Amino acid sequence: MTTVVPEVAHEGEAGRFRSMVDLYVTTARTAVSQQFQYRTANYFYMLGMIAEPVIYLVVWTTIADQQGGSVNGLSAGYFAAYYIVWTLVRNMNIVFGAPFWEHRIREGELNRDLLRPVLPLHYDIAYFAGWKVVVIVLWIPLAIALSFLFDPSLSPNVQQVVAFGIAIWGAYLIRTMFQEALGMLCFWTTRGAAIFDLWMTLELLLSGRLVPLPLMPDWVQEISRFLPFQWAFYFPIETLVGDYSNVELVRGLLVQLLWILIGLAIFRVAWRYAIRRYSAVGG
């Protein structure tokens, strides 16, 4: 009698890779259909978020107008373009945040996740990636409305558009890795909130979320060059709004890749120690 071995087992690495792709596609598709069900809630959430960049935009446009059209060489039209593109990049940047690890551990959801044969990280990346598809679709009419209101000056070439299309996913992955790594703190303390706040503040100031980085003092720009933050905010926005050369675009995307790998490495190390500490009942 012959035993029927599932085909996947024979294929080794290739089979593993294929089932991983399958996992990602299925999870992402589930997220798309789930989040389209909640499209109104998603839209109101998005509208609520628009307040932040619009305030920044109005402030800097006011200053630019007072000073005869520009601040540090940045025109009102540039600010409009910067903060409108900002809204998409910010939306791409919403990931499984560090504070949610506390919820995941406390409610026992992690028990279920640990029973699965792959890291929870894969589900998070796939699920939020699927959600992003919904976000991008919902964002388009909003961007058109904002463009009518604020008159942005935006004239990217084809290479810039392509680079932007890649860079927003790079930003998504960078922020995913660092938020997940930071979330590992929840295995040691239930009072991570202050640390997460501190991280968010550093990000706000050093990433280009608050202002385009050239408006920052030189020493701040110098520091932020060696941190991951700007590669998830300023760089993707600038690929579309700025005037990067092709070389600079490619180099920037490679730096993004580097930060993704660094973040992943930190997460893997932190996860190894964190999971040893974990014990729970129920869930």
Binding site for another protein (CB under 8 A): 59, 62-63, 66-67, 71-72, 191, 193-194, 197-198, 201, 204-205, 210-211, 215-217
User: 98 or 167, CB closer to another protein?
Assistant: 98
Please tell me the distance from the alpha carbon of residue 89 to that of residue 172, in angstroms, as a whole number. 8
* Count of CB atoms situated within 10 Å of the CB of 245: 10
Q: What share of the chain is helix, strand, coil (3-state, %, to 5)?
A: 75, 0, 20
CB of 64 to another protein, least distance (A): 9
Please tell me the distance from the alpha carbon of residue 255 to that of residue 269, in angstroms, as a whole number. 21
CB of 76 to another protein, least distance (A): 13
**Helix, strand counts (H, E) of the chain:** 12, 2
User: 16 or 191, CB closer to another protein?
Assistant: 191
CB of 198 to another protein, least distance (A): 6
CB of 234 to another protein, least distance (A): 15
User: 215 or 257, CB closer to another protein?
Assistant: 215
Question: Nearest to residue 37, comparing CAs of 161, 153, 134?
Answer: 134
159-192 as b/e, with b when 16 or more CB fall inside 10 Å?
Answer: ebeebbebbbebbbbbbbbbbbbbbbbbbeeeeb
User: 61 or 176, CB closer to another protein?
Assistant: 61
Please tell me the distance from the alpha carbon of residue 5 to that of residue 12, in angstroms, as a whole number. 13
- C-alpha neighbours within 13 Å on the C-beta side of residue 42: 21
User: 135 or 213, CB closer to another protein?
Assistant: 213
3-state secondary structure of 216: coil
CB of 62 to another protein, least distance (A): 5
User: 56 or 267, CB closer to another protein?
Assistant: 56
CB of 194 to another protein, least distance (A): 4
